[in-house]
Structure 1
Amino acid sequence: MSGAPAPALRGCPHLARRRFMEFRQLGGSGFKVPVLSLGTGTFGGSNEFFRGWGASDVAEATRLVDVSLEAGMNMFDSADIYSDGLAEEILGHAIKGRRDKVILSTKATFRSGKGPNDVGSSRYHLIRSIEGSLRRLQTDYIDLFQLHGFDAVTPLEETLGTLDDLVRAGKIRYLGCSNFSGWHLMKSLAVSEKYGLSRYVAHQAYYSLVARDYEWELMPLALDQKVGAVVWSPLGWGRLTGKIRRGQPLPEVSRLRNKLSVEGGPQIDDEYLYGVVDALDAVAKETGKTVPQIALNWLLQRPSVANVIIGARNEEQLRQNLGAVGWNLAPEHIAKLDAASKAKLPYPYFHQTGFSERNPFPVAL
């Protein structure tokens, strides 16, 4: 048979684009997820913090879901605290009638009310949080549920036992965590193994060309324990959009103009940022790709990364970010970006680099 496209694909750009969306195994599970997912922190904008991200209503969110599905990106990430639950509610409306076509990911643990039990990973709070998410999302199950942060007050046996009960009840398919340190994650995995409980297969972590701390300990742990990385804020909290450069004013529309968002987000040294952007600009000229596409593609080639969450205020941004898949940076481009984004390591990590003979840097499996 010739290499011509199948008749069903001729003249259908949507189907042709869908073929380029890669799917990867999520950690040690049998579940496959697209390498990109759409974050819904831009949905709603019900308070000052999240207005800095975006304020998509149901109509715009539905359009973003349409474009995502056309491109084969069928995973959508949210959290109970995004715009005080409004983001989940809008996402629920946007996917109505096509629940079977999407993968839903959401999170809980952070404070969701004024009461003493409206926070943390206790049995009480997790059950209430998940029931609320199910109601807002208009579904009876969540594909990937993640703890938004580590709760050192609640016994791990209570937290993991509750999550296991919810998995057995069919309300959750797979478990993950977010923003854990190495010992948080490893201890959790040990407790799950000890008692035969459902284990974390994903870790939603902050990782980008201007934030490589994930590589020090969490990446080796992820590879060793088969926990897939789901990356949040891959463009460095809005700094790698291609609009932030040395000696230029901030763009008119940017979360970096929102004081609350800036102070509540990760801090980055300006000169370090500009050095990374210079390298991105150089690679952009050589490849014909945009700065965000290069930054996202770099992440997709890092060890342990299963999925990268992209954000979009509008359809134009979404389509541009979708252009990060279907191609790979050349080794020389990766080397240039690695060198520009290299940061001084704290102890004991700088010491471990001197023992690479037995303690090598993680490589893709």
Structure 2
Amino acid sequence: MKFRYLGNSGLKISEITYGNWLTHGSQVENDQAVRCVRAALDAGITTFDTADVYANTAAETVLGNALASERRESVEIFTKVYFPTGPGGPNDTGLSRKHILESIEGSLRRLRTDHVDLYQAHRFDYETPLEETMQAFADVVRQGKALYIGVSEWTAEQLKEGHALAKDLGVQLISNQPQYSMLWRVIEDQVVPMSEALGISQIVWSPVAQGILTGKYKAGGKLPEGSRATDEKGGADMIKRFLEPKTLRAVQKLKPIAEGLDLTMAQLAVAWVLQNPNVASAIIGASRPEQVTDNAQASGVTLDQDTLAAIDKALGKIPETDPSLTKSPARRLT
């Protein structure tokens, strides 16, 4: 496992992050989830990402229990705040001072730790003054409950404004967590250049495009049993945009490229996002331990320019590149 610095900081994280969105506490039984975490640790992964909203806080509990026997200093634990949790009351969502300061307490309790390494704004909150949000995050850092702060799915301009406020408050905003894959490249035009200028890294989610880039979905074929596309708890909604026949046919053209490099298609997809120097880590999820072991082998893989060009040729105009698709919900969900 290789490691990279996260943003303009001294924090090193594993190139592969294990994330438990759509799995722990919902799609995957607890015992299996723990086995996935053990597989991640065995593969050399030290960085783990979750959020309070995942399975309405249950995912944090599962991760906390799975990591309880580990030396705290040997792992990096990330979580997030913004989306509704609990009963969904008027202050159970957003990035207000009240919600942030109350949410960090709940996350720490469920994760069984006295601090997280990175506390992230899960989306941008248009209804709370950014100054209030960043002051609350700064207070969380000063209280020792988070070491660094990050965000998720913020636009280039939002990153610029948030970074400036954080700097004025004496804290480090070092990361952004966007969706990024061969099929979803919307951060490349604006978010990545701004991040590079500010010293912010990307921790990218869905590098395998919800499983589409594994090649297991075939145009006109039956959806694989037990796959994310058949998961009615949320997975099916997320993956449906990639199930267009033309997309699936293009993805099949990647198979000979992967085989020529002695990689699985999933490994090729994860390695592809890691070729972007602004990407510090790729988040992988799994419902089975062997998926973790397989995907983790993408760390350290170098794809030459000919390979990258062949990937672009295979996919043609299929990848989404519109930077306006980096956005947060217009209003809080309640």
Same-fold call, TM cutoff 0.5: yes
Q: Of 252, 255, 277, which residue of structure 1 is paired with 2:251?
A: 277
- SS at 2:103 equivalent: helix
- Cα distance in 2 for residues equivalent to 1:320 and 1:281: 16
- Cα distance in 2 for residues equivalent to 1:168 and 1:144: 13
Contact 2:4-2:15 within 8 A present in 1 as well: yes
Question: CA-atom RMSD, angstroms?
Answer: 1.9
Per-residue CA deviation, residues 299-343 of structure 1 (Å, 9 max, x unaligned), is 111130001000110111111111212332232111111233454
- SS at 1:309 equivalent: strand
Q: State the match for 2:6 in structure 1.
A: 26
Q: State the match for 2:134 in structure 1.
A: 160
Q: State the match for 2:273 in structure 1.
A: 299
- SS at 1:298 equivalent: helix
Cα deviation for residue 128 of structure 1 reads: 0.9
Q: Does 1:208 align with 2:181?
A: yes
Q: Of 239, 243, 248, which residue of structure 1 is paired with 2:216?
A: 243
Larger radius of gyration: 1
Q: 1:33 to 1:266 in 2, by over 3 A?
A: farther
Q: State the match for 2:114 in structure 1.
A: 140
Q: Does 1:100 align with 2:79?
A: no
Per-residue CA deviation, residues 218-255 of structure 1 (Å, 9 max, x unaligned), is 11111111110000111112211220122322111111
- SS at 1:230 equivalent: strand
- Cα distance in 2 for residues equivalent to 1:229 and 1:266: 25
Contact 1:44-1:90 within 8 A present in 2 as well: yes
1:1-365 equivalences under 5 Å are 21-41=1-21, 42-45=23-26, 54-57=27-30, 59-98=31-70, 99-112=72-85, 113-193=87-167, 195-259=168-232, 260-264=234-238, 267-268=241-242, 270-343=244-317
Greater RCO, 1 or 2 (C-alpha within 8 Å, sep 6+): 2
Contact 1:280-1:295 within 8 A present in 2 as well: no
Cα deviation for residue 272 of structure 1 reads: 4.6
- Cα distance in 2 for residues equivalent to 1:328 and 1:336: 14
Contact 1:160-1:197 within 8 A present in 2 as well: no
Contact 2:219-2:249 within 8 A present in 1 as well: no
- SS at 1:207 equivalent: coil
1:334 alignment partner AA:
L
Q: 1:265 to 1:128 in 2, by over 3 A?
A: farther
Q: 1:267 to 1:247 in 2, by over 3 A?
A: closer
5+ residue gaps, structure 1: 1-20, 46-53, 349-365
Number of equivalent positions: 318
Q: 1:101 to 1:346 in 2, by over 3 A?
A: closer
Contact 1:276-1:337 within 8 A present in 2 as well: no
- Cα distance in 2 for residues equivalent to 1:226 and 1:257: 39
- Cα distance in 2 for residues equivalent to 1:345 and 1:304: 17
- Cα distance in 1 for residues equivalent to 2:252 and 2:61: 40
- Cα distance in 2 for residues equivalent to 1:276 and 1:333: 16
TM-score when normalising by structure 1 = 0.82
Per-residue CA deviation, residues 57-111 of structure 1 (Å, 9 max, x unaligned), is 0x32332222222221111110001111111101111111212321101101111
- Cα distance in 2 for residues equivalent to 1:266 and 1:307: 25
Contact 1:160-1:198 within 8 A present in 2 as well: no
- SS at 2:175 equivalent: strand
- Cα distance in 1 for residues equivalent to 2:267 and 2:57: 30
Cα deviation for residue 271 of structure 1 reads: 4.4
